[in-house]
Structure 1
Amino acid sequence: MLINYLVILILSLAQGLSEFLPVSSSGHLILLHEVLPALPLNNLAFDVVLHLASALAVIIFFRNDFKEILVGCWRGLVKRKKNEPARLAGLIVIATLPAALLGYWLETLVEQVLRSSIIVMAALIAGGILFLITERLAKQRDNLTKLNWRQSLLIGGAQALALIPGVSRSGITIIAGMLFKLNREEAARFSFLLAVPIILGANIKEAPVILTAVSRDELFSFGLGFFMTFVFSYLTIKYFIAFVRKRSLDIFAYYRFALAAVILLLWFSQ
């Protein structure tokens, strides 16, 4: 029983960190599945719970942004007044469409073909190189008020690349934002705002599994995983935003290279 709680703690920590840090959750899951014992739980339901906890953490952390967006949309739709929060909501919708549509169409391909160690390693390395190049070439000076719908659509296209395991949704959208001259903090903010519709869209359809497949004996384990993932996700968002205000993404590039090397060693040892 104690070992199960330890595994839940580790999985919650991994979800809370890797969902928002640009290091790829897929790469970490490969490692964890190699070294951790299997939980006596419905894995799909547990995964849904952890992702919903991460989405809630984003909503709570950026509650002022989401409040302004809701008010702005109401003013825009009802009072016909153009405003920046409503424009931002439109940009989020536009950036969400490519990943949502491709995710729906390519779900089987991703699950059956792309989930391999080789692809994850290649994506980790390619992403790390892209981080290093972007940090040195991108003009990081603008905020979200300068982002237009075409750029938002292209950021959404970049987000769709995160369907490839190892790419990192947060990493690729932050890099795309920086390439469109957003400063690092604003690029991260937009990336995290985009996380909510993507996480909810990808997992809410599986929510009925929780109601039908989870027994009463498992409720505590699910609740514990949800709570810990929420806490870890919230803290990760908070400290990552503070980090990128002053520092580059180089350290995450080097981490991705190291993770790719570890996965390669595991692959050779099989």
Structure 2
Amino acid sequence: MDWFQVVFLALLQGLTEFLPVSSSAHLILPSQLFGWTDQGLAFDVGVHIGSLTAVMVYFRQDIWRMLTAWTGSLTGQGRSVDSVLAWYVILATIPAVIAGFMFNSAIDHYGRSILVIAGTTLIFGALLWWADISRTEVRPLEKITLKDAVIIGLAQAVALIPGTSRSGITITAGLMLGLNRQSAARFSFLLSIPVILGAGLLKGLELLETGTGDQWTMIISGTVLAAISAYCCIHLFLKWLDRVGMLPFVIYRMLLGLVLLAVYFLV
């Protein structure tokens, strides 16, 4: 890669990882439109580490409270809102882990098509719009239930299909279950931590097995840029969410899906 590709892809990954617009839909476009070669496994690991760093730094206080309360629940210190939330994050992660082991090969083989990504971008964008306009917004995150966590976890497993958007479908599920926008988004971001960590570890193990001759200066730079852009993205998204709602992202997804269809049929 050259430096322009490093900056472009790192910023793109950091921004789209947490917005409900699908990072996979975006990362396929540069190679199709500009003829770029694959960025390499080491770069993928780097931007995953950047995204993970961003979300953990942003929610560091929440994570510390949840971790402390969860550890206390294991030692018999009783049940609290934070310990329950920690258990729900763990529980909601399980479906994605199981689906990843069962269907990863099939998804890699059949799901990387631009046509598939265009379809899921459009379909789940429309579902996000419907969930947002029909929301009831009656419950804060502290009122999330076991049933909510299971359903949102199952929705997250569907996001293994490229173009779905992990954040998009988990926020959609949260809104449909009656969580307010802030609560649905915050639970989605907390859920991203074990998922991104797991994906980064798997890619890291693969990288250790294959080795790499990549330029580490570019990889480290990509990691830092991805972390900064992801942190800014999370902050601005939560700040503006109640003001702008989901409609801008829905419109963007519709346009992106149409662009992908045009690329598939015309390019």
TM more than 0.5: yes
Query: CA-to-partner distance for each residue in 1:94-120, whole Å, 9 max, x for gaps?
Result: 110111100111000100012111111
Structural mapping, 1:193-204, within 5 Å:
193-204=190-201
Aligned counterparts of 1:141 and 1:218: Cα–Cα separation in 2: 50
Instruction: Show the counterpart of 1:4.
Output: 2
Letter of the 1:14 partner, please give it: L
Aligned counterparts of 1:38 and 1:209: Cα–Cα separation in 2: 22
Query: CA-to-partner distance for each residue in 1:122-181, whole Å, 9 max, x for gaps?
Result: 111111211221112111131112111111011000111101111100000001111111
Letter of the 1:7 partner, please give it: Q
Is 1:47 aligned with 2:49? no
Letter of the 1:224 partner, please give it: S
Instruction: Show the counterpart of 2:16.
Output: 18
Instruction: Show the counterpart of 1:129.
Output: 126
- Equivalent residues of 1:98, 1:156 under 8 A apart: yes
Instruction: Show the counterpart of 1:213.
Output: 211
Letter of the 2:16 partner, please give it: S
Structure 2, unaligned runs of 5 or more = none
CA shift in 2, pair 1:97/1:40, >3 Å: closer
Aligned counterparts of 1:40 and 1:243: Cα–Cα separation in 2: 34
Q: Secondary structure at the match of 2:179?
A: coil
CA shift in 2, pair 1:37/1:155, >3 Å: same
Letter of the 1:52 partner, please give it: I
CA shift in 2, pair 1:116/1:39, >3 Å: closer
Letter of the 2:107 partner, please give it: V
Aligned counterparts of 2:207 and 2:258: Cα–Cα separation in 1: 36
Q: Secondary structure at the match of 1:20?
A: coil
Aligned counterparts of 1:207 and 1:31: Cα–Cα separation in 2: 24
How far did residue 37 of structure 1 move? Answer: 5.2
Considering only aligned residues, what root-mean-square deviation do their CA atoms show, in Å?
A: 1.6
Structural mapping, 1:31-180, within 5 Å:
31-36=29-34, 38=36, 43-180=40-177
Work out which of the residue numbers 251, 255, 262 in structure 1 matches 2:252: 255
Letter of the 2:128 partner, please give it: F
- Equivalent residues of 2:23, 2:165 under 8 A apart: yes
Q: Secondary structure at the match of 1:22?
A: coil
Is 1:234 aligned with 2:224? no
Give the aligned length: 266
Letter of the 1:6 partner, please give it: F
How far did residue 231 of structure 1 move? Answer: 0.3
Letter of the 1:100 partner, please give it: V
Structure 1, unaligned runs of 5 or more = none
% of aligned pairs identical? 35
Aligned counterparts of 1:4 and 1:213: Cα–Cα separation in 2: 20
Runs of 4+ in 1 over 6 A off after TM superposition: none
